[in-house]
Structure 1
């Protein structure tokens, strides 16, 4: 793994979008991107559906708030911000392609639009509005290393992280809208944070999760944005459950091991026994 620049300042922006206010939400993200850049951020992660809001009442409403990638107004604003600040931006966006809607996230850099990830695992009523992702798990090369993207519920599927790890990804950026879990007694037991830590540890990748806060149409969100190193330890956050915050951490992506030895006799990728995992498919069938 040969990075041009291993040390990178990663920022996660925890914010509260206003449902349906595309222009206002976009302006807010630009202000926060500028703030993160001024603090030295090189890679900036924003929440899931941060341009539109999350809780739709109908497919018609959802369709009215979607935009095409990369020609939509939100993307155009982010393109300008990325170039102006010389940063990479990962951000959740409400995507329209023809009559299909996707819960997506984009990667934009100083050089322009780089690529799109479409959420593969849809949560609850998302299934009423969005198509399942059809782009797989794309890996994006940057001057800091290889980046993978997931959206919210995707992190509950360890296969997603393993697929990225097998492709040599260094950093997984997660645009998310985490909601309270059942039987979650207090903010010290935020399951999503533990899930992010476990996946980072098991796959030796850095993980940066940007969540939103606030209550939208009766649905609360739990904040708790976090940046996790490749050993699974939190290096910034978790953030609060109810306040807008900017997390920042300097990370050495060369420490993302992605198959390098953990001991003289072990490696996470090398110790996998794919021949015995096929039983999972047999059970399902």
Structure 2
């Protein structure tokens, strides 16, 4: 058996006025608690260190850039990396990345047990819109503040297995999982910040949003015979609610752990990577069963066109 004792660490709300140092203190306390439960790998949410700032319409680039990290780790976040190294724990976490060239990405990283960054992913499927929309109940401006990711969907040999990453809206797209599945991925970590109400369809509330969230993670895990570890930033941020629903899903698509609150919460599970083997060698043995000669439209066409 190849087991990773994994902790999905959900964060409750982070208010606009909360400092990064206060958030890092919360994260360290949660990391300590996860270590006490035997975890060697921790998954934090998307945009871990700040409120979900794409809900705010901003025209001043200086105001926008205050939410971004110019390096990782940096002075504010270094204590988290030091504590993870002290515990011998690897991490996945998300943040807003401002590159030295001035590019803006919604990013996640993977660290080893010495807190070295060994993998980076930049969110590809950006939801929402780029300009203020007065027809929405609230704004979702990821297309305004971020560029689509430019690193693809890599898979890394780490923590005794094949590890992949995704972020939030990526989980809704089957291509996300399949590209990593074709690299043999055994565990996909993803963080998310999902509003509790659809801004364009008010009758779609938290119950529906949690249903679609679970459906996406479970189908991705099952159809690629891999673990999916999904960590939420949840609760009411400055009057704007986010769903919880942090999950650990096994390679058969079963939810083996799920958060019960919209606050800081930890899910710990002993994830056996060898459980991926059955699915990868039977129904989802890609080498035997895939028929790529019929899949050309997937990469040759963006939008749907009727025959």
TM over 0.5: yes
Give the SS at the match of 2:194: coil
Residue of structure 2 in register with 1:93 after alignment: 95
Residue of structure 1 in register with 2:36 after alignment: 38
Give the SS at the match of 2:53: coil
8 Å Cα contact 1:187/1:241 also seen in 2: no
User: Which one of 32, 45, 48 corresponds to residue 46 of structure 2?
Assistant: 48
Tell me by how many angstroms 1:163 deviates: 0.7
8 Å Cα contact 1:260/1:268 also seen in 2: yes
Give the SS at the match of 1:104: strand
Residue of structure 1 in register with 2:6 after alignment: 10
Unpaired segments of 5 or more residues in structure 1?
Answer: none
Tell me by how many angstroms 1:222 deviates: 0.5
Tell me by how many angstroms 1:70 deviates: 2.9
Give the SS at the match of 1:73: coil
Tell me by how many angstroms 1:270 deviates: 2.8
2:111 counterpart of 1:108: yes
Tell me by how many angstroms 1:126 deviates: 0.5
Give the SS at the match of 2:281: coil
User: Which one of 211, 215, 228 corresponds to residue 207 of structure 1?
Assistant: 228
Residue 247 to residue 184, structure 1, CA distance change in 2 (3 Å): farther
2:135 counterpart of 1:119: no
The aligned length equals: 278
Residue 224 to residue 269, structure 1, CA distance change in 2 (3 Å): farther
Cα deviation digits, residues 46-70 of structure 1 (max 9, x gap): 1110102212432432301211233
Tell me by how many angstroms 1:217 deviates: 3.5
Residue of structure 2 in register with 1:248 after alignment: 268
Residue of structure 2 in register with 1:171 after alignment: 187
Give the SS at the match of 2:193: coil
Matches within 5 A, 1:195-234: 195-234=216-255
2:289 counterpart of 1:271: yes
8 Å Cα contact 2:112/2:159 also seen in 1: no
Give the SS at the match of 1:133: coil
Q: Distance in 2 between matches of 1:44 and 1:199?
A: 20
Unpaired segments of 5 or more residues in structure 2?
Answer: 129-140
Give the SS at the match of 1:270: helix
Residue of structure 2 in register with 1:22 after alignment: 20
